[in-house]
């Protein structure tokens, strides 16, 4: 037991380990056990630090602790009594890491390559980049009707190859599969002023890109945690305040983003608060054509962001 805010459990391999890479996994609500099982198949010079960010799920916490005990890799399980949020939780994970490089992985990810960790370690050993993003895919997700909208939108804008991501390197920086060198993170941690969902990792990428190059490579992991349309809309609603924070901090960078330009255009549209809910309702209508639903959801997000530009 450390401070009352967190409880620690270390497996037998943890105390004597000298890892090169620290794999940092926060979770709240999502089940991290499939990811831990996949990582257990790759014994290498890495450690795992997993954070329960106030899930308030004793049964899941007990399963994570039991799995941690059995992992062949050195592992520490950090359990928080209350939720700290995406930025603060990841900063806390770093405080427990011992490697010279950190690999941030979301708990709903699953490596696409059986040499996933070893490929990251090879990159660290050969070129030791300040920051690198491996990309993500939908290869291992079973299609479900209620997730069709998220799947279509993610395939269009998120599941991009390294060459495409490299055109705007700071924009495609997500903590779903992100390598960061220790000295870089010591200089630029996540901004704990962000609350709720969205933009804290992209904003971090904007700050880091001013000082270091961001490398994009092909070492993807599958995003298992696709949402239904209603959950997507709720997350976009949460993210509007975070988008405003990014606009205030990085106006020149954000001005080049399509989401900003559309939001700026919609800001001039009259009666926005009357027609915005109609966009949402259409995006939620599962009987409507998928392409038009995706357009409606993107416009709904831009109409929310119009309040911030």
DSSP string, 123-157: HHHHT--SEEE--EE-TTPPP-GGGHHHHHHHHHH
pLDDT band at 277 (very low <50, low <70, confident <90, very high): very high
Average pLDDT in the 53-61 region?
92
Is 57 in a helix, a strand, or coil?
A: coil
CATH of region 6-226 = 3.90.550.10
Is beta strand 136-137 parallel, antiparallel or unpaired with respect to 101-105? Answer: unpaired
Domain boundaries, given as residue ranges, for the chain: 6-226, 227-309
CB 95 within 8 A of CB 16: no
Is 75 in a helix, a strand, or coil?
A: strand
Helix axes 272-284, 290-305, angle to 10 degrees: 150
Q: For position 4, what pLDDT does the model report?
A: 53
Q: What percent of the chain has pLDDT over 90?
A: 88
- pLDDT score of 304 more than 70: yes
Beta bridge partners of 185: none
Q: Residue 218 is encoded by which pair of tokens?
A: 């092909």
CB 28 within 8 A of CB 53: yes
Tell me phi and psi for residue 69, to 5 degrees.
-60, -35
Q: CA-to-CA distance for 80 and 147, rounded, in angstroms?
A: 30
Q: CA-to-CA distance for 43 and 45, rounded, in angstroms?
A: 7
Chain Cα centroid distance, residue 177: 7
Q: What percent of the chain has pLDDT over 70?
A: 99
- pLDDT score of 19 more than 70: yes
Average pLDDT in the 94-118 region?
97
Return the closest-CA partner of residue 24 out of 84, 86, 115, 114.
86
Q: Give the pLDDT confidence of 285-301 residue by residue, as tens digits.
A: 999 999 999 999 999 99
CB 220 within 8 A of CB 134: yes
- Cα→Cα distances 159→53, 55, 135, 219, 222, Å: 27, 28, 7, 12, 9
Residue 205 sits at the vertex; the CA angle it makes with 201 and 210, to the nearest 5 degrees, is: 155
| pTM, rounded to two decimals | 0.93
Residue with tokens 């700050």: 207
Report the chain's mean pLDDT, rounded to a whole number. 94
pLDDT band at 1 (very low <50, low <70, confident <90, very high): very low
Q: Residue 295 is encoded by which pair of tokens?
A: 């357009």
Q: Residue 197 is encoded by which pair of tokens?
A: 């969902």
Q: For position 212, what pLDDT does the model report?
A: 97
Average pLDDT in the 130-141 region?
97
Q: Give the pLDDT confidence of 234-252 residue by residue, as tens digits.
A: 999 999 999 999 999 999 9
Q: Give the pLDDT confidence of 59-89 residue by residue, as tens digits.
A: 999 999 999 999 999 999 999 999 898 999 9
DSSP one-letter code for 220: -
Q: CA-to-CA distance for 280 and 304, rounded, in angstroms?
A: 11
Q: Give the pLDDT confidence of 148-176 residue by residue, as tens digits.
A: 999 999 999 999 999 999 998 988 999 99
- pLDDT score of 258 more than 70: yes
Number of H helices, E strands in the chain: 13, 11
For the ranges 78-82, 212-216, 255-259, the lowest mean pLDDT is seen at 255-259
pLDDT band at 56 (very low <50, low <70, confident <90, very high): confident
């Amino acid at each position: 037991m450390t401070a009352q805010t967190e409880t620690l459990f270390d497996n037998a391999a943890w105390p004597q380990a000298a890892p090169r890479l620290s794999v940092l996994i926060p979770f709240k609500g999502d089940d991290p056990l499939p990811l831990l099982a996949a990582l257990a198949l790759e014994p290498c010079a890495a450690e795992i630090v997993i954070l329960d960010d106030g899930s308030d799920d004793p049964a899941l916490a007990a399963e994570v602790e039991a799995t941690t005990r059995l992992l062949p890799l050195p592992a520490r399980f950090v359990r928080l009594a209350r939720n700290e949020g995406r930025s603060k939780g990841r900063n806390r994970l770093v405080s427990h890491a011992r490697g010279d490089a950190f690999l941030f992985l979301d708990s709903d990810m699953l490596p696409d390559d059986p040499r996933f960790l070893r490929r990251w370690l090879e990159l660290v050993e050969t070129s030791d980049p300040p920051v690198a993003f491996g990309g993500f895919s939908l290869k291992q997700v079973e299609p479900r009707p209620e997730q069709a909208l998220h799947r279509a939108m993610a395939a269009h804008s998120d599941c991009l190859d390294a060459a495409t991501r490299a055109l705007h390197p700071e924009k495609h920086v997500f903590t779903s599969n992100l390598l960061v060198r220790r000295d870089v993170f010591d200089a630029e941690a996540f901004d704990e002023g962000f609350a709720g969902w969205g933009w804290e990792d992209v904003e971090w990428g904007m700050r880091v890109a001013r000082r270091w190059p961001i490398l994009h490579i092909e070492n993807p992991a599958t995003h298992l945690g696709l949402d239904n349309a209603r959950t997507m809309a709720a997350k976009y609603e949460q993210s509007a305040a975070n988008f405003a924070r990014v606009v205030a901090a990085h106006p020149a960078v954000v001005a080049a983003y399509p989401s900003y330009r559309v939001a700026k255009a919609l800001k001039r549209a009259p009666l926005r608060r009357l027609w915005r809910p109609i966009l949402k309702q259409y995006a939620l209508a599962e009987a409507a054509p998928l392409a038009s639903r995706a357009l409606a959801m993107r416009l709904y997000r831009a109409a929310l962001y119009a309040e911030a530009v």
